[in-house]
C-alpha cells in the first residue's frame, strides 16, 4: 500500500465516519491528522493503516480555511497549495471537505 503526503484516509467508527490528512510519510512511519480536530495527530504504519480498516478517500489535500483561536493557527502548517484550487477529478476545492463514503461499503 503506497501512502503519500496530502492524501485523505477515512475510517468508519460505530457512531460516525472520521477522516484524516496524511501530514508526513517518513520511511515506515505515517503521521495522520484528524480533519475535525487539527490538534489530534498520531503515527502509524502503512500495514497497520490497511489492517485497521482505513480507506483512501482522496488524493487531493484538505485545507481548512475556517480556523478559529490562536492555538489552532500555530498548529496548522502553511499550505503548499492554494486552498481554493478546484480539482476537476475530485470535483471539489482543497478547502471543501471530501464527501464521506457511503455506509453500505462497510457492511461486508
Per-residue pLDDT of the chain (108 residues; tens, 9 = 90+): 788 888 999 998 888 889 999 999 998 899 999 988 888 999 999 999 989 989 998 888 777 777 666 665 555 566 677 777 887 777 888 888 888 766 554 555
Tell me, what's the pLDDT at 30? 94
For the chain, give every domain's residue range: 8-106
User: What are the angstrom distances between the C-alpha of 81 and each of 5, 8, 23?
Assistant: 13, 15, 14
Distance CA 46, CA 30 (A): 7
Amino acid at each position: 500500500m503506497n501512502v503519500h503526503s496530502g492524501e485523505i484516509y477515512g475510517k468508519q467508527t460505530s457512531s460516525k465516519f472520521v477522516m484524516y490528512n496524511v501530514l508526513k510519510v517518513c520511511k515506515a512511519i505515517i503521521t495522520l491528522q484528524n480533519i475535525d480536530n487539527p490538534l489530534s495527530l498520531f503515527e502509524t504504519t502503512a500495514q497497520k493503516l490497511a489492517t485497521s480498516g482505513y480507506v483512501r478517500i482522496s488524493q487531493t489535500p484538505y485545507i481548512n480555511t475556517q480556523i478559529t483561536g490562536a492555538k489552532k493557527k500555530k498548529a496548522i502548517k502553511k499550505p503548499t497549495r492554494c486552498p481554493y484550487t478546484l480539482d476537476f477529478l475530485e470535483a471539489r476545492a482543497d478547502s471543501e471537505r471530501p464527501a464521506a463514503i457511503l455506509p453500505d461499503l462497510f457492511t461486508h
